[in-house]
Structure 1
Amino acid sequence: MDVREDALRETIRELVSFESYPGEEAAVQSWFREHLSDLGFEVYEWEPDPELLDEHPSFPPVETLDLKDRPSLGGVLELGDPDAGPTVVLNGHVDVVPVDEGSWTKPSFDPHWEDGRLYGRGSLDMKSGLAACVFAALAVEERADELGLDGRIVVEGVVGEEEGGIGAAVAAGRNPYPFERDAAIIAEPTDLSLVVAAEGSLMKRLEIFGESAHAARTWEGESVLPHFERVRHAFENLERERAERVTHPLFEAFDNPWPINFGTVEAGDWASSVPSHLTSEIRIGVAPQETVAGVEAEFRERLDEVVAESEWLTEHPPTFERFSVQFEGSEVDRDEPVVERVAEAASDHGIEPNYEGFTGGTDARHYLDAGIPTVVFGPGSVDLAHTPDEHIEWDDVRLASEIIADATAATLESY
């Protein structure tokens, strides 16, 4: 289906012009709400739900989250007899990661097209994908009568995806619409591949306690560093074991599919003192078929083994607690109608359907947990996400919007 190219380009440019960091999405959402309304969408709005988020296993304690004035939006188009057909959700997020302006050669929030590319923070991740969803929905609406389509299309612009999916978690868990949802496409940058499985992640904070002493008499203290090294080696051994034991066909290309990363390590407070306290923040990969709790138990057991071998650690046990956001792995069956329709639409546009596993988390897991079949498919390469001079190719955006339009129409016909 043809999309309104000039309007699509301008919508992307407007979206990218907003500095919509996590917690600062209100301005872009105000503009987006009006824009959707002007385009003929009926707009629904919801704020983060503290009670739901506090009970949700993905999120840290709700008092640590910034939830004020962070609306998510859903623009609805009704086709034919809307109650006689399914509802397809087209989803994108409006928040972007922070910018180090000194590393950019082009203004990060002054978007401009150059040589067929749009530069700006969020151009790739993922405001172009969100705009592509808007005009894909409108392209379907324009031909709905001709195709005899019934049902609804919802275009969602959600907040807090970079913080674990605040807006999507609430939309999935507390349906903000007076109708059910049957399928979803999330237009994250996948280089026009179909992401049908995603790795999860466990975030843990390890603390080890020693005893300080003057550096001239180190034997009178207990340094935390040798204990940390034993824990680190034990965890890395478990990482290697898991890479061999836990397998998934879409992750075989990765040398280390479920990695562990010691992202921060802080120890000691003075060069002339034995370090008596160490804190390390650790990210642990979780396979799509695993649970965060199950992987957590494996690493807890390995830590307990290290502790049991040390008289000091037995008497001064480390702490090993969750922090930040936890991502469950996710996967959708390839024979779900929405997956098949996206694959067919891509093929019709000359793109050989490519099914991939994604090594990061997406909002798809929230919709899948709610029983809504969801596939991730969108323009641009994730390799450019979060990078200086972030940009996207116009041809990819246009093509993605056309494919999403065709897939949406075909999905509406599938139910």
Structure 2
Amino acid sequence: MAEGTAVKGAGILPSQAIRALIESGEIGSPHPGLTEQVQPASLDLRLGPLAYRVRASFLPGPGRKVAERIDELAMHEIDLRRGAVLETGCVYIVPLQERLALNGRIAGMANPKSSTGRLNVFTRLIVDEAGAFDMVPAGYQGPLYAEIAPNAFPILVREGARLNQLRLRRGSPNVGDRALEKLHEEVGLLGDEAAAQIRRGLVFTVDLQATEGAPVGYRAKSHTGVIDLDRIGHYDPRDFWEALPGSRRGDLVLDPDEFYILASRESVRIPPAYAAEMIPYDTQIGEFRVHYAGFFDPGFGWKAERAGTRAVLEVRSHEVPFVLEHGQAVGRLVYERLAAEPDQLYGAGIGSSYHSQGLTLSKHFRSWNGA
């Protein structure tokens, strides 16, 4: 088995271990280019040639295949080979190009890619017999499917588009608070900040303090045009977003069911032998959700000058208006160990889109000043 010649031990599998699984056939695809999808601690997943508009989201449940549920719930079939528009307010299921034949020690977890989340495209992984989204049980053998629900803008997608990514792990990689405190003392997890709030992970807060007239965030407009996911740096952000100026009080009222792009006050650093996942701070602090794409690769913000990189927050309010204040805790970074340091790190060297980001929209938009 390739696992025996690659990385051993517990943790998130790094890039070289993912390639070994591809070589062994535990990750497979009838389409070429599988190794080109490998990221420092994850694998990009590609859409297949067909999508199915379904009446409702679903989980197959024990003993049932996703394909069976598609047959029951599909309204029509969509050909993605030449590209097709996925409309807001609709749910689609797309069989992916990859499939798995994992050994019994390796499990997986998926999440949307950063650009997917910043467009408010709700994307989740489904596998056969699943009782939960985005989870791949240890030893899973079978196909993979993406559930896609555009919430802000209609999107034009084609076969091969990469909307979500898969992490593979062996054992339990979570880092407890004591170990996280020690890691912060040794390497610094928050750029130049001296102190860190560590409570069930690294707490981060929202930045709503405007500087020199710059916006504190962006709010998605309604009834916009289509965004072609293959067009990078193409769209004028003013056609899709409203810039939000800072207030004298340093707060922002979140309107129900509106989508916002904000930024963390802290600068984040992910050491080479670790990855992190952004999760809600506390479901009781307010009626809003922070993050759709919450995975931070090894090397994110990892710079010699310890400057770090701010996290972009994808925020959606629910039910009632909610006042968000500058410096309010909105999430936690839960750090996870890798089984070994990856042979490539997140950053400019591998063409990572957001390695030096501030308050940044998805890569499909030009900068606000038109550059």
TM-score normalised to structure 2 length? 0.30
Kindly indicate which of the two structures has a greater share of residues assigned to helix. 1
Q: Which has the higher strand share?
A: 2
Structure of larger gyration radius: 1
Structure of greater relative contact order (alpha carbons < 8 Å, 6+ residues apart): 1
TM-score, with length taken from structure 1: 0.27
